[in-house]
Amino acid sequence: MAAIDQRTKHSWRARVRIPGFAQKTRTFDTEAEACDWAARIERELRAGRDTIPNLRVEPTLDEALERYEREITAEKKGHEQERRRIRQWRRRELAQLKLSTLTSQHFVAFRKERLTAGIKRSTVRLDLALISHLYTIARKEWGMPYLVNPIADVRQPKADKWRNRRLSAEESLRFEQALATCYNRVIPLIVPIAVETAARKSELLRLLWRDVDLKRRTMLLRDTKNGEDRTVPLSEKAVELLRRLAHEGEDEPVFRTTSHAITAAWRRILARAKITNFRFHDLRHEATTRLFERGLTVMEVQRITGHKTLAMLLRYTQMNVDRIVDRLDETESDPNSPGGSRPVRPTPEPSRTFGPKNGAAAQTNIIVFPGRR
């Protein structure tokens, strides 16, 4: 016989018990859907047909996400970000439903809600991609081949425009002053090194002294985001900065700090500098752009940054149009052409070095963003 129970305001559970068969259970959004399903399953079982698996062992989305985080997320390089994404999903009312009861309509409503709230389209795409992969794992590895991936029928939001954030000259001035007051001695060094090397924060934090060769002016970044090791050439300024760090052992980290400490210090620096919408990862954009502005070829820049494709490399490049004008002037093929030679653009004045306010800054005395137009 069938039994219908109301679990929450918008959740109804149908249970069907027929002698000789395992109990069948499923949760629905309305009482009518639960009754219709229970009646159909009861007819099939009384006719001797068991067409659905035993749903008593099927997890809810919350339970599946917990297992996914334990078995899949833990092995990913971006596990910290994905764990935050999983926690957000598990707080939703949707997480209390069984996997087989979730439909594309649930996630269409989720997409609309998030976009209406002003969440970036790329973030919503990643939220949906997580659930889609969970269903793939559940079908292939967790013994639930009967599941249908509801995300397959959900239209994905269009990708966001490429990020284009570089500090202006005025912002650079305030940023350098705020950086000089940072009490964490590592931060005023790791920031300019990130600009000099185009390395990611995670790559720098994993860097060990045995992978740094100051004589050859190279550093080896291991287990990078794309899964490969990458040797990065060091500028003279980068070598000078690295020499200021304490070298306590070959197997010791170069930067003795944590991602959380960098994030906290970064927020304080931006607050003091009164700068918004500027992330640590934007230093990688800045570094890549500077490499092009210094005249390096695409292949040379790609070797340093580790980008796999030109399309990805271009996403990190916002060349200053004034620099491009300078290059046009420099490569003018015929200086005696009608109209005469073009005037030389004035060279920007060098950045000023600001007096430190504490002992940490006194040891660094670093110019992070040389004067830009």
**Looking at the annotation, which residues are catalytic?**
200, 225, 281, 284, 307, 316
Q: What one-character-per-residue DSSP string does 274-318 give?
A: T--S--TTHHHHHHHHHHHHTT--HHHHHHHH--SSHHHHHHT--
- Residue 225 tokens read as 């985001």
Q: What are phi and psi of 22, to 5 degrees?
A: -70, 150
Instruction: Answer yes or no: are the C-beta atoms of 189 and 245 closer than 8 Å.
Output: yes
- Residue 335 tokens read as 């200086």
Instruction: Answer yes or no: are the C-beta atoms of 237 and 196 closer than 8 Å.
Output: yes
Q: Residue 10 carries which side chain, given as an amino acid letter? A: H
Beta bridge pairs of residue 4: 14
d(CA 270, CA 182): 11
Cα-based torsion angle of the residue sequence 165, 301, 349, 271 in order, rounded to the nearest 10 degrees: 30
Instruction: Answer yes or no: are the C-beta atoms of 288 and 301 closer than 8 Å.
Output: yes
On the CB side of 252, CA atoms within 13 Å amount to: 10
Tokens 């219709």 belong to 36
Helices 121-141/79-90 angle, 10° precision: 90
What are the angstrom distances between the C-alpha of 118 and each of 114, 115, 142, 158, 242? Answer: 7, 5, 35, 14, 42
d(CA 250, CA 237): 22
- In this structure, what DSSP letter does residue 357 have? S
